[in-house]
């Protein structure tokens, strides 16, 4: 509360020019003669003038900020997506605001509204559940929304990785290693990615002629390490003869939790239980037993999504919605590399 707002007007007065000229110095300096420019810049320095972004934005009608809503800021997978977004956004002079929905639709809607009220340049959304109806409303009111890590069902822009293929890759690998009793750890199943990876897993089993109800599903409350620990406890509690010999987890956080619990319970990985994760976060390779995981092009995902968003925002008329789908890749490590026939 020390000083009250120094505005362009004060600067103009101090430099002995009109406020329009100050604005020109700020935005199109080449239009102002060097002498005047210097005088204005000095006035700015002397008065400690700081541009008011709110006023700019009010005039411009939209902000220079992209909102990215993710399921979990603490998951390095999303941090990497954010990095990609930030890189691409910086090229166009845009900033990034990172929002954490914590997998909760209520929080997702809260942030969607917030971003719309802020007239965000655009919104990148990793949907928590079956997309909120708000999304469509927001789009219709003129704020572009691009789905990330999830294909759009309504023909809008989206960037995703084929999760069914990823699930298939993972389970095919396990079947090939001789596993027949396989478990899937992941949830909530309302999250599309979780459901798709499960579908891929089932498809792989079917293709191998294994009854897909042989797949034991552990529905978790969230996709973090704590839930992985819980699921691991449940798995370890099953008697050895009926226990799954392999576990496919919907993401690496869960996988690391399961892995940690196996060790605690005295079970050997991959001897007693093989584990496959998903995302190939940087910690997967550094795990107790380096984790086999399904890798997604994380940074690329963020970058491409941002490209689509920018195109949609700038060429509203000529823009063509696109659903970009990347292919995942299996990275095999020690957590699955001992052959075994049950």
Partner DNA sequence: TTCGGTTAATGAAACCTTTCACTGCTGATC
Partner DNA sequence: GATCAGCAGTGAAAGGTTTCATTAACCGAA
**Residues 6 or more apart whose Cβ sits within 8 Å of residue 296:** 77, 149, 161, 166, 278, 279, 280, 326, 328
Q: Give the x/- contact pattern for its own copies in 145-184, rule: CB under 8 A.
A: ----------------------------------------
In this structure, what are the phi and psi dihedrals at residue 272, rounded to the nearest 5 degrees?
A: -85, -45
Q: Which of 12, 32, 69, 82 binds its own copies (CB under 8 A)?
A: 82
User: What is the distance between the alpha carbons of residues 42 and 89, in angstroms, rounded to a whole number?
Assistant: 31
Smallest gap from Cβ 263 to its own copies, in A, equals 8
Q: How far is the CB of 262 from its own copies (least distance, A)?
A: 11
- The residue within the footprint of its own copies, chosen from 148, 164, 174, 289 (CB under 8 A), is 289
Examine residue 23 and tell whether it contacts DNA (CB under 7 A).
yes
The owner of tokens 């990034």 is 96
Rounded Cα–Cα distance for residues 43 and 188 (Å):
58
- Burial code of 147-157, b = ≥16 C-beta within 10 A, e = fewer? bbbbbbeeebb
Spatial distance between the Cα atoms of 304 and 88, rounded to a whole number of angstroms: 8
From the list its own copies, DNA, none, which binds 287 (C-beta under 5 to 8 Å, kind-based)?
its own copies
Helix (H) or strand (E) holding 158: strand 158-161
Q: Which does residue 230 touch among DNA, its own copies, none (CB within 5 to 8 A, set by kind)?
A: none
Site string for DNA, 39-78 (x = CB under 7 A): ----------x-xx--xx-xxxx-----------------
23 binds, among its own copies, DNA, none (CB under 5 to 8 A by kind): DNA
Closest alpha carbon to 95 in 120, 71, 61: 120
The residues near 176 (Cβ < 8 Å, ≥ 6 apart) are none
8 binds, among its own copies, DNA, none (CB under 5 to 8 A by kind): DNA
DSSP single-letter state for residue 75? S
Q: Which does 91 bind (CB under 5 to 8 A by kind): its own copies, DNA, none?
A: none
SS3 state at 338: coil
Q: Which of 16, 29, 142, 190 binds its own copies (CB under 8 A)?
A: 142
31 near DNA, judged by CB under 7 A: yes
Residue number with CB closer to its own copies (206 or 226): 226
Identify the residue whose tokens are 């972004």. Answer: 53
Distance CA 291, CA 295 (A): 11
Token pair 């550094």 in the structure block, residue: 286
- Segment near DNA (CB under 7 A), from 32-40, 123-131, 256-264, 274-282? 32-40
Residue 148's SS3 state is strand
Nearer to DNA, 8 or 255 (CB): 8
Residue 209 C-beta: closest distance to its own copies, Å: 35
Only segment of 135-143, 171-179, 243-251, 266-274 that touches its own copies (CB under 8 A): 135-143
Whole-number CA gyration radius for the chain:
26
C-beta separation of 243 from 214 below 8 A: no
Residue 206 in the binding site for its own copies (CB under 8 A): no
Residue 155 binding DNA, by CB under 7 A = no
210-269: contacts with its own copies (CB under 8 A):
225, 256-257, 259-260
Question: Which residues lie near DNA (CB under 7 A)?
Answer: 4-5, 7-9, 12, 16-24, 26-27, 31-33, 35-37, 49, 51-52, 55-56, 58-61
């Amino acid at each position: 509360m020390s000083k009250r707002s120094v505005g362009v007007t004060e600067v103009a007065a101090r430099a002995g020019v009109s406020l329009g000229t100050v604005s020109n110095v700020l935005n199109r300096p080449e239009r102002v003669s060097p002498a005047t420019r210097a005088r204005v810049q000095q006035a700015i320095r002397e008065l400690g003038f700081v541009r008011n972004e709110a006023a700019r934005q009010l005039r411009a009608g939209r902000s220079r900020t992209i909102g990215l809503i993710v399921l979990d800021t603490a998951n390095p997978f999303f941090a990497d997506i954010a990095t990609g977004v930030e890189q691409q956004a910086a090229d166009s002079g845009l900033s990034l605001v990172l929002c954490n929905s914590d997998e909760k639709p209520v929080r997702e809607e809260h942030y969607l509204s917030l971003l719309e009220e802020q007239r965000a340049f655009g919104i990148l959304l990793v949907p928590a559940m079956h997309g909120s109806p708000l999304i469509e409303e927001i789009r219709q009111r003129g704020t572009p929304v691009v789905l990330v890590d999830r294909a759009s069902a309504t023909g809008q822009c989206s960037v995703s990785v084929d999760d069914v293929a990823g699930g298939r890759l993972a389970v095919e690998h396990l079947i090939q290693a001789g596993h027949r009793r396989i478990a899937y750890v992941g949830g909530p199943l309302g999250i599309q990615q979780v459901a798709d990876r499960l579908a891929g897993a089932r498809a792989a089993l079917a293709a191998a002629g294994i009854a897909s109800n042989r797949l034991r599903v552990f529905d978790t409350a969230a996709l973090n390490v704590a839930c992985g620990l819980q699921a691991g406890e449940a798995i370890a509690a099953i008697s050895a003869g009926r226990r799954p010999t392999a576990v496919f987890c919907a993401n690496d956080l869960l996988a690391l939790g399961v892995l940690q619990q196996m060790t605690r319970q005295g079970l050997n990985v991959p001897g007693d239980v093989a584990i496959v994760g998903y995302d190939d976060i940087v910690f997967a390779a550094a795990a107790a037993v380096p984790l086999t995981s399904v890798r997604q092009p994380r940074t690329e995902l963020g970058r491409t999504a941002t490209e689509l968003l920018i195109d949609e925002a700038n060429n509203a008329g000529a823009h063509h919605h696109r659903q970009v789908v990347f292919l995942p890749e299996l990275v095999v490590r020690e957590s699955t590399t001992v052959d075994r026939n049950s």
